[in-house]
Structure 1
Amino acid sequence: MSVFIEPLQLEAFDQLPKHARQCVFWEVDPATLGAGEYLPDPEFEKEAWLSMVMLEWGSCGQVAAMAPAEGSGGDDEGSCLGYVLYAPPRAVPRAQRFPTGPVSADAVLLTSMGTEPGYAEGLPHSLISQVVSELVRRGVRALEAFGRTADTAELMGAEIADPELRPAVEALGDCSFDQCMISADFLLDAGFTVVAPHRYFPRLRLELDKGLGWKAEVEAALKQLLDSAQLQQPVGAGADVRS
């Protein structure tokens, strides 16, 4: 079966994996909640955020889906294999809380990404390629992201003493930095460079005008994948890019 990638539409929100629909790590500022308070309906909050960004700014996500096999009757159509979300940094409350901020004024912020098991080898890069293509058409100069390094394992289950780090890593329900941030190693492999070093949460940047050659190579590889590969249906829930 072949795979296609297209901009996320609000009416396709229910097709996203469960975690992607309910994760509000980037979209809600924990400071707006009282001590011990939880969001009663994070899925509603996520859909409302997407609606707001799409209305005010435009497309803010790309979704990889499986095209139906010939003769299948369309039963597999719309099966989400991966997603990536991005937005202007002013629309991302958590972006204001990282020690390596702020995001550059000319950049769009890449926030989260996930793929189904079995598609992690090439699909994340293809999703980034689609983001680059979309943003180049819209005249955006750069894409930035806060990466999560391998050293963040030290922070898991620990009391964060550094007041500079606490706002960045504060959990929101089931959403936490170890699940909801993109690996810095993956971002480096995708062509980003570090512009604000940090032991745990560096800020990385991809210059879109300089990245067009890279984008063309990725798109050519994606075209070859879509034209020739017969991909098997993966089993299991969506998994975030963590390696």
Structure 2
Amino acid sequence: MGRQLVPLTLDNLSSLPPTCRRCVFWELDPVSGGRAERGGRAEAEKEAWISAVLLDWGSCGRVVFADGRPVGFVLYAPPAYVARSTAFPTGPVSPDAVQLMTASLLPAYQGQGLGRVMVQTVAKDVLRRNFKAIEAIADARWAGPGCLLPAEHLKAVGFKTVRSHHRYPRLRLELRSTLSWKADVERALDQLLGAVQKDHPVLRPL
């Protein structure tokens, strides 16, 4: 089965599910995000955000294709580009880290090592850009689909708490360690990427 991890660009933005293309939870601050959603401008704002990051920093995500079909994706960016993170009591992430914003992998493709490949690909890309870690603002009481990753799943794949909070801890993964992962974390990665998915006929985002 042919599989590719392709950098996210404006040309393949349509490969993300509509719910993700219209979501600006992390990209805008709460006030601006709410205004964009009420005004029906969220999708345009998302495209504008990705365009700006592409121009300033480069691709901020990867899309996973299997036989030409999008089956997963991951979005990430330095803290300066993730406006919503400052609204959390544990944000923003450290200046030497890139924030893991959201990620997903279709259930049919879990358990095949793609989760590990996705995170390792992000790790190599971020290391190449001279960052030392990946951080995430997680949900310690995760109970269903949403824009935050569940804290317990992140801890299962090697993230460590760097700033505690009863609801929104900030977790960190040192990048050097991800490049030498063994297969025993593969199942946990698949659980992380498949844990918080919304129903969608093609791809289910976090």
> What interval of TM-score do these two structures reach, taking the shorter chain for normalisation?
0.7 to 0.9
Q: Aligned equivalents of 1:34 and 1:9: distance in 2?
A: 25
1:87 aligns with 2:77: yes
Q: What secondary structure sits across from 1:209 in the alignment?
A: helix
TM-score normalised per structure 1: 0.70
Whichever of the two has the greater Rg, that structure is: 1
Q: Aligned equivalents of 1:36 and 1:192: distance in 2?
A: 33
1:117 aligns with 2:107: yes
Q: Aligned equivalents of 1:43 and 1:239: distance in 2?
A: 17
Q: Aligned equivalents of 1:32 and 1:187: distance in 2?
A: 29
1:129 aligns with 2:129: no
Q: Cα offset for 1:62?
A: 0.8
> Which residue is 2:136 aligned to?
145
- Letter matched to residue 180 of structure 1: C
> Which residue is 1:239 aligned to?
204
> Which residue is 1:7 aligned to?
7
Q: Cα offset for 1:41?
A: 2.2
1:209 aligns with 2:199: no
Q: Aligned equivalents of 2:85 and 2:61: distance in 1?
A: 17
> Which residue is 2:162 aligned to?
195
Q: Aligned equivalents of 2:133 and 2:66: distance in 1?
A: 29
TM-score normalised per structure 2: 0.82
Q: Aligned equivalents of 1:140 and 1:185: distance in 2?
A: 24
Q: What secondary structure sits across from 1:240 in the alignment?
A: coil
Q: Is the 8 A contact 2:142 2:150 kept in 1?
A: no
Structure 1 gaps, min length 5: 68-76, 157-177, 222-234
Q: Aligned equivalents of 1:142 and 1:97: distance in 2?
A: 21
Cα RMSD of the aligned pairs, angstroms, is 2.4
Instruction: State the Cα deviation string for residues 143-197 of structure 1 (Å, max 9, x = none).
Output: 1011122x244xx9xxxxxxxxxxxxxxxxxxxxx41111222211222111112
Map residues 1-243 of structure 1 onto 2, 5 A cutoff.
1-32=1-32, 38-67=38-67, 77=68, 79-121=69-111, 122-149=113-140, 151-153=141-143, 178-214=145-181, 217=182, 236-241=201-206
- Letter matched to residue 131 of structure 2: V
Q: Aligned equivalents of 1:22 and 1:120: distance in 2?
A: 25
Q: Aligned equivalents of 1:10 and 1:195: distance in 2?
A: 34
Q: Is the 8 A contact 2:17 2:205 kept in 1?
A: no
Q: Aligned equivalents of 2:149 and 2:109: distance in 1?
A: 16
Q: How many residues align?
A: 190
> Which residue is 2:194 aligned to?
none
Q: Cα offset for 1:125?
A: 3.1
Q: What secondary structure sits across from 1:182 in the alignment?
A: coil
Q: Taking structure 1 as reference, are residues 124 and 201 closer, same or farther at Cα in structure 2, changes over 3 Å only? A: farther
Q: Cα offset for 1:33?
A: 6.4
Q: Aligned equivalents of 2:151 and 2:165: distance in 1?
A: 11
Q: Aligned equivalents of 1:194 and 1:181: distance in 2?
A: 15
- Letter matched to residue 106 of structure 2: E
- Letter matched to residue 104 of structure 2: G
Q: Taking structure 1 as reference, are residues 36 and 50 closer, same or farther at Cα in structure 2, changes over 3 Å only? A: closer
> Which residue is 1:161 aligned to?
none
